[in-house]
């Protein structure tokens, strides 16, 4: 009875140790996954499922001019970026490593025939042998006895966690790049519209001056002055057209559009309710919790700990028991009946010289290296957060303190001087100076709003979560 219970318990324990390890990856925490303004509804399903269906070529997906919102740009950029899929393959490879670690070693079968007659047959009078057929099966069990398989599984599970965190970081960087390019395009569009508006105003002024010169009201020198200003404005228009083209090409590259399909963006630089800055320490603490690259380093440290245990387990002996069946052909060789027999045995390695010292030392070194990498990343993160918070604070202060009223004031001065010039109370130089002041103020106005949106999203990307809205 006791022997029966022992066998039952041992069988259950062995089956438990041999059971397949079902490890499910924790839900990926992706940047902007839960944001509300604007929102990225979800990562493309084919990416999350690991399907390898490639997106359609741009010629098939965009056959006509397309206008993109910020959400559409983010979604399309994620689907089009091969680096996203490459990072996803790292998760697949880590899962394959886990599968390999959980596999049980195969048993090994050996067979041989020995003691066969070489130069004469065996007989009762001239005995030899007797010939013997052997068949044995061996099965290593040290993976179970010393927990080698369990240690390998734990290490590979941490490997999946590292790969998933790296994947999340790749998504974060891609989204941050897409948002930055989106606002680059909006800023370039606004600057081009301003340059075109300035050119139109100067053209109208030129027509007015030509009429006054024809009537003898002013000298021809004013015609030359206004034309010089028009030449300058044309150069500015060309410059802004090139800036817009460069921004659109960067956006086209992000969207994976190879064909020459016109694209536009739908959005505005207006800021209705500016978000208030947050403290540097608050932002840093949030980044420690949410930055996927930092999470990856912590998981690498966990994996390094697991690898040390794994290498220490590998230092234990290799234990391989076996069962033998033998058939002795005795009748002809020695005159006795043929006989069947069996035997058991075990092979055990003796770790005297090789105790896996090198791999254990290497695993400990990787553990120290992981700790140092975390320290270095925290230093870099502190500097990045400090710069991002200060940049956003500066943009916020400009938007709420310096910018209000500037544009209206510059516009009023320009309009009043234009009116006075029409009545002969101001010179053309004063008119052009007021126009330049208005133009520069408007540029600062556009740049200030673009800087606000850039710094806001840069701060959120640095934190790894949309905190400032």
- Mean pLDDT is lowest, of 40-49, 323-332, 426-435, for 40-49
Which pLDDT value is given to residue 161? 94
Mean pLDDT of 274-283: 94
pLDDT, greater one: 44 or 418: 418
Which pLDDT value is given to residue 409? 73
17 alpha-carbon distance from chain centroid: 36
Residue 148: strand pairing partners: none
Domain 19-105+140-316+351-463 in CATH 1.20.1600.10? The answer is: yes
Strand locations in 131-276 (E): 132-138, 263-265
Q: Is residue 411 pLDDT above 80, yes or no?
A: no
Q: Is residue 222 pLDDT above 80, yes or no?
A: no
Q: With pLDDT > 90 as the criterion, what percentage of the chain qualifies?
A: 56
User: Using CA atoms, how far apart are residues 165 and 170, in angstroms rounded to an integer?
Assistant: 9
Query: Which of the given ranges, 81-85, 219-223, 415-419, has the highest pLDDT on average?
Result: 81-85
Mean pLDDT of 413-432: 73
Evaluate the omega torsion of the peptide bond into residue 38 and state whether it is cis, within 30 degrees of 0. Answer: yes
Q: Is residue 46 pLDDT above 60, yes or no?
A: no
- Mean pLDDT is lowest, of 287-291, 328-332, 410-414, for 410-414
Token readout for 349 is 């390695």
Q: Is residue 299 pLDDT above 90, yes or no?
A: yes
Which pLDDT value is given to residue 217? 60
* Residue 153 banded pLDDT, cuts 50, 70, 90: very high
- Mean pLDDT is lowest, of 5-19, 320-334, 352-366, 452-466, for 5-19
Which pLDDT value is given to residue 425? 67
Token readout for 311 is 């290498």
Which pLDDT value is given to residue 349? 95
Which pLDDT value is given to residue 10? 45
Burial class of residue 198 (count of CB atoms within 10 Å of its CB; 0-12, 13-18, 19+): buried
Domain boundaries, given as residue ranges, for the chain: 19-105+140-316+351-463
Q: Is residue 35 pLDDT above 70, yes or no?
A: no
Of 197, 193, 179, 202, the residue nearest 241 (C-alpha): 193
Mean pLDDT of 443-466: 94
Q: Is residue 55 pLDDT above 60, yes or no?
A: no
Question: In which element (H, E) is residue 348 found?
Answer: strand 339-348
Q: Is residue 5 pLDDT above 60, yes or no?
A: no
Average per-residue pLDDT for the chain: 84
Single pTM value for the model: 0.82
């Amino acid at each position: 009875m006791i022997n029966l219970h022992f066998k039952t318990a041992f069988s259950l324990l062995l089956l438990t140790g041999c059971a397949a390890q079902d490890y499910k990856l924790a839900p990926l925490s992706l940047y902007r996954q839960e944001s509300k303004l604007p929102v990225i509804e979800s990562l493309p399903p084919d990416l999350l499922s690991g399907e390898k269906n490639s997106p359609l070529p741009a010629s098939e997906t965009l056959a006509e001019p397309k206008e993109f919102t910020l959400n559409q740009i983010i979604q399309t950029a994620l689907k089009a970026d091969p680096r996203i899929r490459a990072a996803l393959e790292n998760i697949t490879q880590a899962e394959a490593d886990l599968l390999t670690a959980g596999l049980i070693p195969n048993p090994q079968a050996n067979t041989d025939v020995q003691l066969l007659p070489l130069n004469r047959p065996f007989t009762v009078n001239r005995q030899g042998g007797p010939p013997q057929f052997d068949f044995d099966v061996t099965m290593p069990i040290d993976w179970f006895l010393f927990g080698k398989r369990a240690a390998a599984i734990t290490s590979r599970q941490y490997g999946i966690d590292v790969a998933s965190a790296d994947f999340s970081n790749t998504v974060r960087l891609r989204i941050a790049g897409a948002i930055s390019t989106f606002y680059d395009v909006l800023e370039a569009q606004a600057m081009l519209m301003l340059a075109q508006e300035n050119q139109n105003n100067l053209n109208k002024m030129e027509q007015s001056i030509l009429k006054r010169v024809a009537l003898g009201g002013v000298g021809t020198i004013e015609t030359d002055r206004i034309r010089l200003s028009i030449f300058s404005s044309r150069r500015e228009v060309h410059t802004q057209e090139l800036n817009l083209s460069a921004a659109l090409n960067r956006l086209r590259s992000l969207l994976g559009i190879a064909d020459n399909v016109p694209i536009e963006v739908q959005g505005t630089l207006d800021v209705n309710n500016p978000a208030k800055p947050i403290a540097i320490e608050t932002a840093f603490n949030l980044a420690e919790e949410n930055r996927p690259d930092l999470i990856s380093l912590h998981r690498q440290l966990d994996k390094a700990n697991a690898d040390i245990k794994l290498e220490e387990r590998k230092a234990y002996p290799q234990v391989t028991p076996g069962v033998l069946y033998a058939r002795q052909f005795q009748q002809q060789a020695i005159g006795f009946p043929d006989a069947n027999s069996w035997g058991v045995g075990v092979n055990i390695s003796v770790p005297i010289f090789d105790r896996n010292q090198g791999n254990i030392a290497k695993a400990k070194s990787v553990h120290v290296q992981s700790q140092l990498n975390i320290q270095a990343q925290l230093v870099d993160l502190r500097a990045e957060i400090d710069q991002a918070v200060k940049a956003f604070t500066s943009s916020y202060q400009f938007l709420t303190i310096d910018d209000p009223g500037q544009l209206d004031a510059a516009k009023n001065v320009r309009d009043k001087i234009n009116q006075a010039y029409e009545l002969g109370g101001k010179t053309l130089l004063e008119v052009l100076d007021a126009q330049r002041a208005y133009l520069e103020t408007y540029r600062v106005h556009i740049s200030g709003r673009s800087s606000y949106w850039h710094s806001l999203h840069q701060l959120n990307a640095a934190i790894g979560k949309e905190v400032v809205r």
